[in-house]
Structure 1
Amino acid sequence: MNYQEDLKKAVEVLQQGGLILYPTDTFWGIGCDATNAEAVRKVYELKKQEDRSSMTMLVDSDVRFNSYVEEVPEIAYDLIELAVKPLTVIFSGGKNLPDNLLNEDGSIGIRVTKEPFSWALCQKFRKPVIWTSANVEGEASPGGFDEISETILGGVDYVVNYRQDEVESPVPFGIIKLEVDGQVQIIKE
């Protein structure tokens, strides 16, 4: 299957409320339509996680922030632009998203992906896509595709073929929490 067919199939599965396993700018991840509460529930079920455990949304551009965040501090755009590695920003006041995706305090983690497949996926899908590590709660995050468990492989509706044979180490990423007033709290460097 070529790249375009892989992308098309992944988008179709997302549109139908299914789960995909796909490469990102950090680790391989489990993905679904971030705006679909039932799809989000299926991710929690597959990972054996409690609802409202924190998950990240991937978007193709910071222009999407305003659709899913009540108030985006101006500094957010500078932080994303200047980041030297993938950066998840936890924003206060998520909106237009299912309750089971928002953290208990109403916040939401969003990362602008720059990896070719996940970027094209978000752009073609036109909605945010969930990214959460491809492991069951309590197990180590897989370093590469070949370390993903049969439970995860068998629990998704589509496994992307692109980049499966790569043996590179996962890219480290940062996490910050950004308050409406612009205060930044570093969660993970």
Structure 2
Amino acid sequence: MAKYFDVHPDNPQPRALRQTVDLLRSDGLIVYPTDSCFALGCRLGNKEGIDRIREIRQLEDGHHFTLVCKDFAQLGRFVQIGNALFRSIKAATPGGYTFILPATKEVPRRLLHPKKKTVGARIPDHVVAQALLTELGEPLLSSTLLLPGDEEAMTQGWEIKERLDHVVDAVVDSGECGAVPTTVIDFSQGEAEIVRRGAGDPSLFE
């Protein structure tokens, strides 16, 4: 059974954060809220966690995983951002965007797109997600919680607990979450390509 952490949306309880991060450090898989919708998350080096995310979402090999980072400094360790991109990405973060960028050597090879050697990266504008990232001290490897056959992401933590009780280790709930995934911008070829229109305003990159 998954643990259920009901946390305050503005002042998440430190004890709940610590317990959640302890699970992550023990190679657990969690569901947590972001500024777009709920996401599945595990530690970067958690190979089993990655496989579990693939199984839950029935993902293909070419799927881009996302590194959810606390801030721009952390993001810069894992993706390559040239001077030309720096300003436009910086202006849109934190926020509801995922950027597909060339990965640095800090990113395990199994997380990279098999042909492009790219990875997704984002900085969420969400109190609880930021608090978890601060407590963990490293990015969360994440994927939007959109289950096979569902047209929209689930917005209620208790519903997620009921459906995923035996396949995740914890659900962090801070109240109703959005149902719109991030806007995805692919910068792997240098120019901005809008791959998915979602929570973030795509006009910034058009």
Residue 28 (str. 1) matches residue 32 (str. 2)? no
Any gaps of 5 or more consecutive residues in structure 2? 1-5, 8-12, 198-206
Among 18, 21, 45, the alignment partner of 1:11 is 21
When structure 1 is superposed on structure 2, of 168-177 and 97-106 the one drifting more is 168-177
SS in 2 for 1:32: strand
Once the two structures are TM-superposed, the CA of residue 89 in structure 1 deviates from its matched residue by 0.7
Counterpart-to-counterpart distance in 2, 1:158 and 1:109: 24
Letter in 1 for 2:171: V
2:185 to 173, 176, 185: 176
C-alpha separation between the residues in 2 aligned to 1:88 and 1:115?
14
Equivalent residues in 2 for 1:77-116 (5 A)?
77-83=86-92, 85-104=95-114, 105-116=116-127
* Equivalent-residue separation in structure 2 for 1:154 and 1:79 (angstroms): 41
Question: Percent sequence identity over matched residues?
Answer: 25
In structure 2, do the counterparts of structure 1 residues 34 and 52 end up closer, same or farther at CA, with 3 Å as the change threshold?
A: farther
Residue 114 of structure 1 deviates from its aligned partner by 1.8
In terms of mean alpha carbon deviation, does 171-180 or 21-30 score higher? 171-180
Give the equivalent residue in structure 1 for 2:148: 137
In structure 2, distance between residues paired with 1:113 and 1:125: 15
Report the AA paired with residue 174 of structure 1.
T
TM-score by length of 1: 0.83
TM-score, length-normalised on structure 2? 0.77
Match runs of 1:17-56 below 5 Å = 17-56=27-66
Deviation digits for residues 42-96 of structure 1 (CA, Å, limit 9, x no counterpart): 2112223234422212101111133212x32224432233228411110023432
- Structure 1 residue 40: Cα displacement: 1.2
Instruction: Specify the SS of the correspondent of 2:129.
Output: helix
Letter in 2 for 1:7: L
Amino acid aligned to 2:131:
A
Quickly say closer, same or farther: Cα 1:91–1:38, change in 2 above 3 A. Answer: same
Q: Mark the CA change 1:97 to 1:138 in structure 2 (over 3 Å): closer, same or farther.
A: farther
Structure 2 CA distance for aligned equivalents of residues 184 and 148 of structure 1: 34
Deviating above 4 A after TM superposition, structure 1's stretches of 4 or more consecutive aligned residues are none
Q: Say how many residue pairs are matched.
A: 184
Whether the aligned pair in 1 keeps the contact of 2:42 and 2:50 (CA below 8 Å) is yes
C-alpha contact (below 8 Å) 2:184/2:194 kept by paired residues: yes
Identify which range, 86-95 or 133-142, moves more after superposition: 133-142
CA distance 1:120–1:149, change in 2 (3 Å): closer
Q: C-alpha root-mean-square deviation of aligned residues, in Å?
A: 2.4
